[in-house]
Amino acid sequence: MRRYILILFTFITSVSFAQIHEAGIFVGGSNYIGDIGRTNYVFPNKFAGGIIYKYNLNPRIAIRGNYTVLPLSGNDNESDNLFREQRNFSFNNTLHEFAAGLEFNFFEYNVRSLGHTFTPYILAQVAAFNYKVPESVVGGNVQFTNEFSFAVPLGIGVKGRISDHLAFAFEAAVRLTIKDDIDYTTDKITSLDFGGNGNDFYTFAGFSLVYTFGRPACYADNE
């Protein structure tokens, strides 16, 4: 019995001491994948950015939250699809996204250790975002309203150590949504009811810089 208590105490202590915080910014580009414009999956064409926070549970897993502003646009003139070129639709929208989830490191990684200075990682999150949707037409002008929806960000990246308190990362992630109106298509307005071939997606690809702080992790090699 004492052995199990000791093992449990050791596990709890290691987790509680292995808590290190990271906070910073990330900048890059966003693009939309849907019924208007290009069909490229990763083709950043709008400047996007936000803030990020991570809580490292251990050298492999971090809880992560981020807020991102993602301008999105589409223009049929830029498509290599003949039907879209002839249709000649375009739109601009801006998403405000809050996301939370996990980062899984391929290698054991600690920014305060010289033993593992970089690692690839995968990202899985759940996100809520706010965006504009058309509501009605008044005097020939489309009236918009704000709406919330959900997305599932999935991504890959690589991060590395700059110093004892600084780290960087390059990342690309796609957001899977349950909406088909990010590009303003709607059956509420006849002129905007051009159908669609599935839900809209959006992506972000960019660079982040974070500062680490808090109690040093017990798994650090060099304190």
* 41 has a pLDDT exceeding 60: yes
* 35 has a pLDDT exceeding 90: no
Model confidence at 205, pLDDT cuts 50, 70, 90, reads very high
Amino acid identity at 156: I
Q: State mean pLDDT over 156-179.
A: 93
CA distance 101 to 119: 18
Residue pair 183/35 in contact by the 8 Å Cβ criterion? yes
41-79 burial code (b ≥16 CB/10 A, e <16)? eebbbbebbbebbbebbbbeebebebebebbbbbbbebb
Q: In this structure, is the dihedral angle defined by the CA atoms of residues 36, 200, 101 and 127, taken in order, positive or negative?
A: positive
* 128 has a pLDDT exceeding 90: yes
Amino acid identity at 178: I
What is the structure's pLDDT at 194? 73
Q: State mean pLDDT over 24-48.
A: 89
User: Percent of the chain scored above 90 by pLDDT?
Assistant: 51
Q: pTM for the whole thing?
A: 0.82
* 79 has a pLDDT exceeding 50: yes
* 9 has a pLDDT exceeding 80: no
Q: Is the model more confident about 20 or about 114?
A: 20
What is the structure's pLDDT at 197? 64
CA distance 12 to 17: 9
